[in-house]
Structure 1
Amino acid sequence: MLPRLVIHNSISPDGSTTGFDANLDVHYGILGSYEPDAMIVGSNTAKVGTQFFCEKIPPEDKEDFKKPDIHPDDTRAYWMIADSRGTLEGLMHVFRRSEYSKDIIVLVSEKTPESYINYLKERDYDFIRAGVERVDVRQGLEIAGERYGFKLVVSDSGGILNSILLEQGLVDEISLVLTPEIVGKSGTNLFRGIEKSGIQLELSRNEIVEKKYVHLVYRVLKE
């Protein structure tokens, strides 16, 4: 069964996800309020995000080759990273060490390099194989729901993965933190990869946060 899926992102009024300093306390504070079972992110977004965790990629140590001990009361979300090309080989320990992550689950495809699969196995990362050339996100989410009992997944990713999620009709809700800054031509549109038009939304909630940001929540009206 498919988990409920929410897209969450911080954007400028002209729809960009880059070119401004996002308030991470507000962004992740709102995301955490959803209490998701897992967060899903694309490999490119994850790779760019390593700069937020460390200035320089640290070497692996023996603790990076085994799963972390997870307490039954741990409320942190798992991170699901779609990485069919093995983009994050040598970087996974950065995410596993994060205080915000329970552990990492990697979504791969049939064409994922075997060297990358061995890299994941050697370090005891869970992975879900879904799709042939690229990750079949729908199938991956279905397997995650069945295997781990996930009920709610939040996408904290970029335009490519979010566009795929919308086009495939997987999104139930869109949560946007509106930052009062116009980016202009240098911006990166949140849904720049989407080809399908006419996706209808219904505003379900709006609120002012810290007298500067606006949190908008839309329900996706499915056909």
Structure 2
Amino acid sequence: MRPHVVAQVAVSLDGRTAGFDADLARYYAMATLWQEDVTLVGADTILAQEGLLRAAPGGDSRASGPLLAVVDSRARVRSWEVLRGLGHWSDVLALYADQTPARPPDATTRELVTGYEQVDLEEVLRLLGRRGAEVVRVESGGALIGVLLELGLVDELALLVHPVIVGAGEPWCGATVRFRHAGTEVFSGGIVWSRYCLD
């Protein structure tokens, strides 16, 4: 049985995930609600923050923290040790496909290889469930969440909507999925937190 999958995303009024200053403190405070076993992230999200990651103070992994699983079909992420040492996660797991380019022979990051050209996300979730994961929180700029929605693998959607129109870029999702409203909260500055569950 696969874990409960929560997709969390900070968006603008016109459905963009970039081009505005997201309230990251609020975003990460809300993320603690789920106490996830696994944080699932796409390589693009990691690469977009690589400069900030490298500048972050080093530390140790957090034994009680969730596992960080990164979907990286093209083996572009190189900052595994930095991610491991941020103190947020218990460990990191690289999610690769059969056709993912070869990794350095001395790589020490745990790997899960599934799928041929792209990571098989359905199998990843099933395997994580077998390993004891009950809740997976997806943190993404939108592409990974969009794929998971298209595959019917999202159980809950949490949007932190910012009162700004970006007017450029692609919307974070193009899939059509019906959800049931589960709650809304309005914060100072007009930021709206809305949660939805799969029908």
TM value normalised by structure 1: 0.82
Aligned equivalents of 2:10 and 2:111: distance in 1? 28
Structure 1: how far apart are the matches of 2:163 and 2:61?
41
What does residue 172 of structure 1 align with?
A: 155
Find 1:162's aligned residue among 145, 151, 171: 145
Taking structure 1 as reference, are residues 132 and 27 closer, same or farther at Cα in structure 2, changes over 3 Å only?
A: same
Q: 1:118 aligns with which of 105, 112, 117?
A: 105
Q: In 1, Cα distance between the equivalents of 2:52 and 2:9?
A: 16
Secondary structure of 2:83's aligned partner? helix
Q: What fraction of aligned residue pairs are identical, expressed as a percent?
A: 28
Count of residues in Structure 1 that have an aligned counterpart in Structure 2: 198
Residues 1:189 and 2:177 are matched in the alignment:
no
Higher Cα radius of gyration: 1
After superposing on structure 2, the runs of 4+ consecutive aligned residues of structure 1 that deviate more than 3 Å are: 68-71
Q: What displacement does 1:211 show?
A: 5.0
2:40 maps to which residue? Answer: 40
Structure 2 residue identity aligned to 1:44: D
Partner of residue 20, structure 2 = 20
- Displacement after TM superposition at 1:220 (Å): 2.0
Deviations, residues 188-213 of structure 1 (Å, cap 9, x unaligned): 4111xx4x43x111111101123531
TM-score by length of 2: 0.91
> Is the 1:50–1:94 contact (alpha carbons within 8 Å) kept by the matching residues of 2?
no
Aligned to 1:3: 3
Which residues of structure 1 form unaligned runs of 5+?
none
Provide closer, same or farther for how the CA distance between residues 14 and 70 of structure 1 changes in structure 2, counting only shifts above 3 A. Answer: closer
Q: Residues of 2 paired with 1:69 and 1:178: CA distance?
A: 31
Residue by residue over 1:112-159, the C-alpha shift from the partner in whole angstroms, topping out at 9 and shown as x without a partner, is: 223x1635xx32x22111101110011011111112x10000110122
Q: Deviations over 1:44-72 (max 9, x none)?
A: 1111122332349x9xxxx9xxxx6654x
User: Aligned Cα RMSD in Å?
Assistant: 2.1
Query: Could you report, residue by residue, the CA deviation over 1:150-182 in whole angstroms, capped at 9, with x for unpaired residues?
Result: 000011012221111001110001000011111
